Amino acid sequence: MGKRIFLFLLTNILVVVTISIVMMVLGYFFPGIGQVTRGGQLQLGALAVMCLVWGMVGSFISLQLSRWMAKKSMGVQLIDGNTGNADLDWTYETVNRLSREAGLPMPEVGYYESPEVNAFATGPSKSRSLVAVSSGLLRTMNRSEAEGVLAHEVSHIGNGDMVTMTLIQGVVNAFVMFFARIIGWAVGQALSSNRDENEGPGMGAFMAQMGVTIAAEIVFGILASFITAWFSRQREFKADAGAARLAGREKMIAALRKLQSYHETIDPRGAELATMKISGKSWMAMLSTHPPLEVRIAALESGR
């Protein structure tokens, strides 16, 4: 499970670090690009705008690629309701019916070979979404329980959770880049032997600045993951409630109870999809993208 959490964090952090390296290298060799200093002083307003723009760009690039990445990383095979396999055709028709009831366009539907008892939804928009289930879920759950899971994933799409989490991640990325670059700039200034306001720092100071910036982004990125994980847990409660309305409260509760008995069977592939899976139990509760199953069941039973 530690590997899964590590990969989830790495996916978010690498986007920020890659953008920062490109920005800093271009800024060093072409000072007019991304210039956020004036007279040797850091312009915080310009830096904030630049970090917000690039933080959002990084998140939306990930969002646009999400459906394609899911298919490639999880080996998702699309189905059309005419496979001749009773379980797969039932899955397609159930997603179709739930989508109509939710007033949504029909998403792509697929399955992937895995012993995990799970499903996920992803995609850049309600009209370009994907719902996928594992072969382990289809073998383990009866159709009533599986319908509860599919309703949960359709609710994620209806609630716009992929876009919501992307916006949150974009803002978080902006703060990570902003504070990391302030720290990196301060170190670069302290180590620079060239104080001419019309010239940039020497190569040694620049490399130190870039190294400190990247290190700070990794540290801040890990800390920021606590924030995005908290938001993800709140979206799970909302998706559970939506599933209860679409499929029935008892079906959703039954699905979660079935998951309790299989919570250790989680596929480590596609860890970046953890926030949109039906189950995401973690030994690091504050970094878990999902609330504990018993808490979700209690919320449904109490009508929340």
Q: Which residues pair with 12 in a beta bridge?
A: none
Q: Which residues pair with 131 in a beta bridge?
A: 109, 121
Catalytic residue selected from 145, 153, 217, 236:
153
Cβ atoms of 281 and 290 within 8 Å: the answer is yes
Residue 145 known to be catalytic = no
The residues carrying an active-site annotation are 153
